[in-house]
Amino acid sequence: MNPAEAPSTLPLFILSGYLALLLGLGVVSSRFFRGTSADYFVVSRSIGPFLLLMSIFGTTMTGFAIVGSTGKAYTSGIGVYGLMASWSGLIHSAVFFLIGIRMWAVGKRYGYVTQCSYFRDRFESPTLGYALFPVLVLLVIPYLLVGVIAAGKFLQSTTAGMFPEAFPLLRPDGSPSPLSGGLPPWIGGGVICLIVLGYVFFGGLRGAVWANTFQTLVFMGAGILAFVMISGRMGGPAEASRLAAESVFGGARMAREGLIGHAQFFSYCLIPLSVGMFPHLFQHWLTARSAKSFRLTVIAHPVCIMIVWLPCILIGMWSAAQLGAGSNPNAVLGRMVNDLVHSPVLLGVVAAGVLAAIMSSLDSQFMCLGTMFTQDIVVRRFGKHRFSDREKILLARGFIVMIVAITYGLALYLQDSAHVFDLGVWCFSGFASLFPLAFAAAYWKRATRAGALASLAAATVTWLVLFYRDILATDRPPGVDELLIFGMMPVVFIFGAALVTLVTVSLATQPPRPETVEKFFPPKS
């Protein structure tokens, strides 16, 4: 392509068509709405094995896995695959089997639709339900930011050069930026927020499940396509890897040594435990038709992770040779697609796949926040008979709109200072530190109300202190020198504080009432 020639805008039309299709899916799914809040919030617990696998996997994949992992491999090398993908493949399935099925069974038996209500009854504490809500919102917000920032950055890099007059961008030295002429992140992030808001607003969790299934198939197919095309443009996987190994910037990133220490590597194994406390995943578990519906998810989830993560890590490695040093990690995937995939049609398809991965988690997160606000705050405060099903749905929709607006504003504020991967790790660290609470709720009869409250407080305070130190009170460039304590990830200390506090305080306080133990640990027949 002639450098002076503006890129085709055809990919934008393909993306527009894809986004319109998602909106249409939300409208169609609303036609199947049964008119009850249970149907809006948990799809009447009717989801079978395939839709459950696709919706759960799509929900766990986000800008963190697609854009973030590529950027992290660019900065930290091949060890990123073992760091996240290997641990996640094993631990996610184990958590689904040990925690997911058990909580689904209790949730179906007693009609729970949110984590807060489950933990409130399990630990005999309305206070715990109210305290858990803001903590979960606090942790979901960074997760949402990962998606919105990743979408804005990716769209800017993939549309670079299309609108040189409307969106010029210069480097600090006055020369044109490689991203000049691309849609600015405030447009890309805003459009994605509106599309997700649209199909969740109309279709509820059924709309999210349908959209997740469709988008999971799209981003897995598009990821394989992008991998094949990029590797082909670089002379094949072997040649691309050789170029990376021989480049000054990429050579040092072909091995873990020197970039990721042993303590850091092994402490990452705690991060995937976060899936045990994701509120949006809890809500998806409750949609299952039966315990057998989990079987396919437990078996196939590790394979799906490998299909998505392996190409992303390799593309990140190859980008070290293609782009050299100095690129923004958040924009690496977009630049590789834009620089090497010269077919406008295929560029549009690949871009749609990346956005599919991002949106497939945003929708469930927005949906779970609206559900928790309605069920755990408003209905809990004013009584379950105070509102009709229609009013409950309106309340959820209103809260979702507010969260979307807050997320969008924060994403614009942090878009140039936060690394998508680092932000995601902090979010997952917080949820992972609540895992002792989930495990104790499901398996430890002796866990008490005081222990749960103390554990929640310990995890929250420790997380806030370390998050402030690493993300807010620093001016380092994105992706440089993430916080390590004695060489380990901060999650070790947050998780440790929560676990020790839970066990110590529970053993020192009065056990739960026998009827509560019998409700949540029924004798086997």
Of 107-116, 199-208, 314-323, 448-457, where does mean pLDDT reach its minimum? 199-208
Mean pLDDT of the chain: 85
pLDDT at residue 437 tops 90: yes
Of 74-78, 289-293, 299-303, 368-372, where does mean pLDDT reach its minimum? 74-78
Question: What gap in Å lies between CA 211 and CA 87, rounded to an integer?
Answer: 27
Record the tokens describing residue 64, joined without a space. Answer: 């963190």
Residue with structure tokens 């045990």? 276
Q: Mean pLDDT across the stretch 473-478? A: 61
pLDDT at residue 3 tops 60: no
pLDDT at residue 122 tops 90: yes
Higher pLDDT, 416 or 194: 194
Residue type, 414: L
Higher pLDDT, 202 or 366: 366
Q: Mean pLDDT across the stretch 327-338? A: 79
Give residue 222's pLDDT.
82
Report how far apart the first and last C-alpha atoms of the chain are (Å, whole number): 71
pLDDT at residue 1 tops 50: no
Q: Where are the alpha helices (DSSP H) in 253-343?
A: 262-267, 279-285, 294-323, 332-340
Band (pLDDT 50/70/90 cuts) for residue 457 is very high
Higher pLDDT, 486 or 104: 104
Q: Mean pLDDT across the stretch 451-468? A: 94
DSSP state of 159: T
Residue 425: CA count within 13 A, CB half-sphere: 29
Q: Mean pLDDT across the stretch 328-339? A: 79
Give residue 82's pLDDT.
76
3-state secondary structure of 240: helix
Band (pLDDT 50/70/90 cuts) for residue 244 is confident
Model's pTM, two decimal places? Answer: 0.82
pLDDT at residue 104 tops 90: yes
**CB 63, CB 149: distance < 8 Å:** yes
Give residue 177's pLDDT.
85
235: left (phi over 0), alpha (psi -120 to 50) or beta: left
Q: Mean pLDDT across the stretch 198-225? A: 84
pLDDT at residue 169 tops 90: no
Q: 170 - beta bridge partners?
A: 176
pLDDT at residue 2 tops 70: no
Residue type, 133: F
Give residue 474's pLDDT.
65
Residues written for the chain: 525
Rounded to the nearest 5 percent, the helix, strand and coil shares of the chain are 75, 0, 25
Q: CA-based angle 404:410:413, to the nearest 5?
A: 145
Taking only the tens place, the pLDDT of each residue in 79-91 is: 888 777 777 888 9
Higher pLDDT, 42 or 167: 167
pLDDT at residue 248 tops 70: yes
Taking only the tens place, the pLDDT of each residue in 357-410 is: 788 778 888 888 888 999 889 988 888 788 888 888 888 889 989 989 998 998
Nearest to 315 by CA among 418, 421, 244, 222: 244
Question: What gap in Å lies between CA 254 and CA 234, rounded to an integer?
Answer: 17
pLDDT at residue 312 tops 80: yes
Ranges 185-189, 351-355, 471-475, most confident? 185-189
Give residue 475's pLDDT.
63
Distances (CA, A) of 101 to 95, 104, 285, 348, 502: 9, 5, 8, 39, 23
Band (pLDDT 50/70/90 cuts) for residue 425 is confident
Question: What gap in Å lies between CA 127 and CA 424, rounded to an integer?
Answer: 28
Q: Mean pLDDT across the stretch 284-288? A: 90
pLDDT at residue 124 tops 90: yes
**CB 358, CB 233: distance < 8 Å:** no
3-state secondary structure of 488: strand
